[in-house]
């Protein structure tokens, strides 16, 4: 059996969108005072949007969509980090969150072996790993 990467990306995006809906529903029904749940819901939304945009970019061979999808992935990791800080009662580093797209763009524009697509992938992985670590 052959697993199609594009199909797996669409399915992954759908699962993340369901995670977003479940967390927002849980927050609305039971946990209105817990801001961390909303941060984690936003992370699911950013992940769903990023993977869906990447899938569209790959399907249409459109570099702009691939770049936009890659840019959303570190944002998902950053909002997981923000939710964890909120869960532990710590302040959210708004300047850090606001700098994610700027840092991604800067890293993505650096010359990298393999061209711009490899550079964007490396920037996405580096930023996501930083926040998730």
User: What are the tokens at 71?
Assistant: 């840019």
- The pLDDT profile of the chain, 133 residues, written as one tens digit per residue, is 677 888 898 999 999 999 999 999 999 988 888 889 999 999 999 999 999 999 999 899 888 888 888 888 889 999 999 999 999 999 888 888 888 888 888 887 777 777 777 777 888 888 888 888 8
φ, ψ at 90 (rounded to 5°):
-95, 160
pLDDT at 120 (0 to 100): 79
Asked if 35 and 85 count as a contact pair (C-beta separation under 8 A), the reply is no
State the pTM of this model.
0.85
45 closest CA partner among 18, 66, 70, 25: 18
| CA torsion angle 64 65 71 77 (round to 10) | -170
pLDDT at 1 (0 to 100): 65
């Amino acid at each position: 059996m052959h697993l199609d990467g594009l199909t797996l990306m669409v399915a992954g995006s759908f699962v993340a969108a369901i995670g977003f809906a479940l967390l927002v529903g849980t927050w609305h029904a039971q946990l209105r005072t817990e801001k961390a749940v909303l941060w984690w819901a936003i992370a699911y939304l950013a992940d769903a949007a990023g993977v869906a945009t990447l899938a569209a970019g790959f399907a249409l061979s459109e570099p702009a969509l691939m770049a936009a999808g890659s840019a959303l992935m570190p944002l998902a990791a950053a909002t997981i980090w923000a939710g964890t800080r909120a869960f532990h009662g710590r302040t959210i580093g708004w300047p850090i969150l606001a700098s994610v797209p700027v840092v991604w763009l800067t890293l993505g524009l650096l010359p990298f072996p393999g061209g711009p697509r490899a550079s964007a992938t490396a920037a996405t992985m580096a930023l996501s790993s930083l926040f998730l670590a």
